[in-house]
């Protein structure tokens, strides 16, 4: 059980519109990158393999394959650096954590597609 005072203190740091995706979804994470005095958006696309934490500490891990090597990156859910998360595909999974994908290569990493419900395919900002 969480302390209500902690929830009250964390409330201003939470996103107004929570990001809507689950483990197994293929997503594009748009991240704000500061280079000197310029700001640009960098896209990291991959499969959400884990979600953990609660409140301000909520994080999600995204995995993709680059030049035959697996690359994983963990993003804070409520960070202002995460501009938006665009869901490209939904997959039907039976586990909360998809760490078994680390051991698989090639076509074995494919996940079974889940049909989107009405109004589910919208962009998260």
Q: Give tens-digit pLDDT for 33-43.
A: 999 999 999 99
- Alpha-carbon dihedral angle through residues 38, 42, 48, 52, given to the nearest 10 degrees: -10
pTM of model > 0.85: no
φ/ψ (deg, to 5) at 86: -105, 120
CA distance 50 to 23: 6
CA dihedral (90, 96, 102, 105) positive or negative: negative
Q: Which CATH architecture has domain 15-103?
A: Roll (2.30)
Tens-place pLDDT, residues 64-111: 999 988 999 999 999 999 999 999 999 999 999 999 989 888 888 888
- For the chain, what are the domain ranges? 15-103
Q: Any idea how long the chain is?
A: 125
Which band of pLDDT confidence, cut at 50, 70 and 90, is reported for residue 3?
A: confident
Tens-place pLDDT, residues 5-57: 888 888 888 888 888 899 999 999 999 999 999 999 999 999 999 999 988 88
């Amino acid at each position: 059980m969480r302390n209500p005072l902690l929830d009250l203190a964390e409330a201003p740091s939470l996103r107004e519109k929570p990001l809507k995706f689950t483990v197994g979804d293929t997503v594009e994470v748009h991240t704000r990158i500061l280079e000197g005095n310029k700001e640009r958006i960098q896209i990291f696309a991959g499969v959400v393999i884990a979600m953990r934490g609660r409140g301000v500490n909520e994080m999600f891990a995204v995995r993709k394959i680059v030049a035959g090597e697996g690359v994983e990156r963990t993003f804070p859910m409520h960070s202002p650096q995460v501009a938006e998360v665009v869901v490209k595909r939904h997959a039907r999974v039976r586990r909360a954590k998809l760490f078994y994908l680390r051991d698989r290569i090639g076509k074995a990493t494919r996940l079974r597609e889940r049909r989107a419900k009405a109004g589910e395919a919208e962009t998260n900002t």
